[in-house]
């Protein structure tokens, strides 16, 4: 017998579940701590100036923000309808077919790992002179990078719950610091308001693709808002609002601070970025703010890099976890540490890769700032740009087959405009890699990076087709993550 009629009263079930759900602010915090504002403003922007010689970065941040906001319309709409919404490959699997989904998963693993490795290089290179200044110890960059690596590796398997609040506090401090330093730039003796950073003409000129990739790199992390699609208070509002707010905040902060920095350098931005590197951001503001602010800025710069490392490590470990649960990667990746809930083997594998990368760079004597931090970051930026572009197409594909529940703007209008803009950006990016990396056209990095992404896509598609033949249950579950029918130990045991 089903239940008898009940008097209208608030459902305890709904109330209890709602209490655990996230509001806009929590999602914005989560997204922005992966974006690591200070790392971008003090790290990526000056290094980018030095390597590419391009100054129109403010307008690039604004342009990319507009494109990402348009992309986000369809992206967050699709997130409401699918399982495993946190991972790009889930969209691709359900919008363009499972084979491309696996291809996208491999691309995502390379892209996020590039960011992760980049942040080790950045941390080591930036911390080494600071440690010499603060403590009088002369350490190699890779020694410091290894310490950061060990910290991330331990936190990765322990999955410390407190880090949410710590990261939020650091993030607010970072944002305030970037704002204050940028305002101080306006009063620098060499300040002259420069039109170059906001020159929209540069977005169609030579080097446009390089600028756009640098800008995309600054936004990476925004795509993680959809992780909470099912956990948000109001699925139709919370995640979309949080995404737009995060993109807008990031855009305004980055555009203003890079304009202020370039202007404060008084026409010498590229030259000074070349000699001072990430110190440029701090040097320009410091004579107005004094030594204490400078030390605080440096300390937050380091914590910002660590926050970025932790975020990317967690993203990578969870990608591997999700793929392990589906059986696309070995099942072992679907294991967690029971006592912490951390995705154990995904985390360990990432740490192993990080260790190898740091050691190889150390042994080969490659430059940690340009060749690891900047090249790694922009390689990741290219990968994420590719993923966003393919996901945008996938959104159209998905809604063409499952149109219910969304209006035409969410299903088709915005995704179509977004796709066209993203395709243009991708084209510019791929043809500008030489400028982006500051190397000769035709030299190794210009073809290694696109080739790597291409090879990964093809092998991903191939692997999916093998799975379709040999393990149809696994194939069916591609993109469904923890909810795939062929999922994991218990279900595997009962198959």
Partner 1 sequence: MSSSQLPLADDLYLAAHDSARGRCLLTPATQGLGLAAALLAELVLWRRLDLRDNHVVVIDDQPTPDPATAAVLGQLLREPHHRRIRDWISFLATGVATDLVERRLARSGLVQRKEKRGLLGTKVRFVPADTSSAGWPGTRIRISATRGELLDTSDLVLTGLVLATGLDQHVLDTLEAHEREHLFDQLRRRLPPMLQHLVGHAEAAVGDAVMARRA
- Could you give the CA distance from residue 46 to residue 12 in angstroms, rounded to a whole number? 53
DSSP 384-442: HHHHHHHHHHHHHHHHHH--TTS-HIIIIIHHHHHHHHHHHHHHHHHH-HHHHHT--TT
What distances in angstroms separate CA 467 from CA 21, 35, 470, 477, one per listed residue?
36, 35, 5, 11
- Provide the binding-site residues for partner 1, judged by CB under 8 A: 1-4, 6, 11-14, 16-17, 19-20, 84, 86, 159, 227-228, 230-231, 314, 318, 321-322, 325, 334-343, 481-483, 487-491, 493-495
| Least distance in angstroms from the C-beta of 88 to partner 1 | 14
Sorted by sequence, the CB contacts under 8 Å of residue 130 that are 6+ apart come out as 298, 302
Nearer to partner 1 among residue 258 and residue 351 (C-beta):
351
Nearer to partner 1 among residue 2 and residue 201 (C-beta):
2
| Least distance in angstroms from the C-beta of 401 to partner 1 | 22
| Least distance in angstroms from the C-beta of 10 to partner 1 | 10
Say if CB 298 and CB 286 are below 8 A apart: no
| Least distance in angstroms from the C-beta of 161 to partner 1 | 9
- Could you give the CA distance from residue 450 to residue 456 in angstroms, rounded to a whole number? 10
- Could you give the CA distance from residue 177 to residue 243 in angstroms, rounded to a whole number? 23
- Could you give the CA distance from residue 177 to residue 295 in angstroms, rounded to a whole number? 11
| Least distance in angstroms from the C-beta of 11 to partner 1 | 5
| Least distance in angstroms from the C-beta of 494 to partner 1 | 5
Nearer to partner 1 among residue 432 and residue 487 (C-beta):
487
Nearer to partner 1 among residue 231 and residue 367 (C-beta):
231
| Least distance in angstroms from the C-beta of 40 to partner 1 | 23
Nearer to partner 1 among residue 268 and residue 491 (C-beta):
491
Nearer to partner 1 among residue 194 and residue 322 (C-beta):
322
- Could you give the CA distance from residue 483 to residue 420 in angstroms, rounded to a whole number? 33
| Least distance in angstroms from the C-beta of 19 to partner 1 | 7
CA dihedral 262, 264, 268, 272 (to 10 degrees): -80
Give the number of other CB atoms < 10 A from CB of residue 278.
Answer: 26
- Could you give the CA distance from residue 398 to residue 225 in angstroms, rounded to a whole number? 20
For 20-40, letters b (16+ CB in 10 Å) and e give: eebebebbbbbbbbbbbbbbb
- The token pair that represents 373 in the structure block: 């931090």
Say if CB 240 and CB 68 are below 8 A apart: no
Nearer to partner 1 among residue 159 and residue 279 (C-beta):
159
């Amino acid at each position: 017998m089903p239940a008898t009629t009940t008097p209208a009263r608030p459902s305890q079930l709904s109330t209890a579940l709602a209490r655990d759900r996230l509001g806009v602010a929590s999602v914005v915090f989560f997204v922005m701590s992966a974006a690591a504002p200070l790392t971008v403003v003090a790290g990526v922007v000056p290094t980018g100036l030095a390597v590419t010689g391009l100054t129109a970065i403010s307008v690039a941040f604004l342009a990319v923000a507009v494109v990402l906001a348009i992309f986000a319309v369809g992206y967050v709409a699709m997130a409401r309808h699918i399982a495993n919404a946190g991972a790009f490959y889930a969209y691709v699997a359900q919008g363009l077919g499972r084979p491309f989904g696996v291809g996208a998963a491999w691309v995502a693993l390379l892209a996020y790992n590039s960011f992760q490795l980049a942040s080790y290089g950045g941390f080591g290179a930036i911390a080494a002179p600071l440690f010499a200044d603060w403590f009088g110890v002369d350490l190699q960059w890779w020694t410091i990078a290894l310490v950061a690596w060990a910290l991330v590796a331990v936190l990765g398997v322990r999955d410390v719950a407190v880090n949410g609040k710590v990261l939020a506090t650091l993030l607010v401090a970072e944002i305030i610091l970037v704002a204050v330093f940028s305002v101080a730039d306006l009063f620098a003796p060499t300040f002259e308001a420069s039109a170059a950073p906001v020159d929209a003409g540069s977005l169609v000129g030579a080097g446009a693709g390089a600028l756009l990739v640098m800008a995309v790199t600054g936004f990476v992390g925004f795509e993680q808002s959809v992780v909470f699609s099912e956990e948000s208070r109001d699925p139709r509002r919370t995640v979309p609002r949080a995404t737009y707010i995060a993109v807008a905040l990031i855009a305004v902060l980055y555009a203003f601070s890079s304009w202020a920095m370039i202007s404060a350098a008084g026409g010498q931005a590229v030259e000074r970025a070349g000699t001072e590197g990430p110190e440029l951001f701090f040097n320009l503001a410091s004579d107005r703010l004094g030594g204490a602010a400078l030390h605080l800025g440096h300390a937050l710069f380091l914590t910002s890099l660590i926050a970025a490392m932790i975020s990317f490590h967690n993203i990578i470990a969870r990608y591997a976890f999700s793929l392990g649960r589906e059986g696309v990667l070995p099942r072992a990746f679907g294991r967690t540490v029971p006592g912490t809930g951390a995705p154990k083997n995904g985390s360990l594998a990432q740490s192993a890769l990080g260790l190898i990368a740091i050691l190889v760079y150390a042994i080969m004597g490659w430059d940690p700032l340009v060749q690891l931090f900047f090249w790694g970051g922009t390689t990741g930026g290219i990968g994420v740009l590719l993923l966003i572009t393919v996901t945008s197409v996938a959104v159209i594909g998905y809604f063409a087959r499952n149109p219910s529940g969304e209006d035409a703007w969410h299903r088709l209008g915005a995704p179509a405009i977004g796709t066209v803009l993203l395709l243009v950006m991708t084209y510019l990016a791929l043809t500008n890699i030489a400028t982006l990396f500051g190397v000769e056209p035709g030299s190794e990095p210009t073809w290694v990076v696109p080739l790597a992404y291409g090879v990964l896509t093809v092998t991903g598609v191939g692997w999916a087709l093998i799975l379709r033949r040999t393990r149809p249950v696994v194939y069916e579950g591609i993109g469904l993550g923890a909810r795939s029918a062929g999922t994991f130990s218990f279900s595997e045991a009962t198959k």
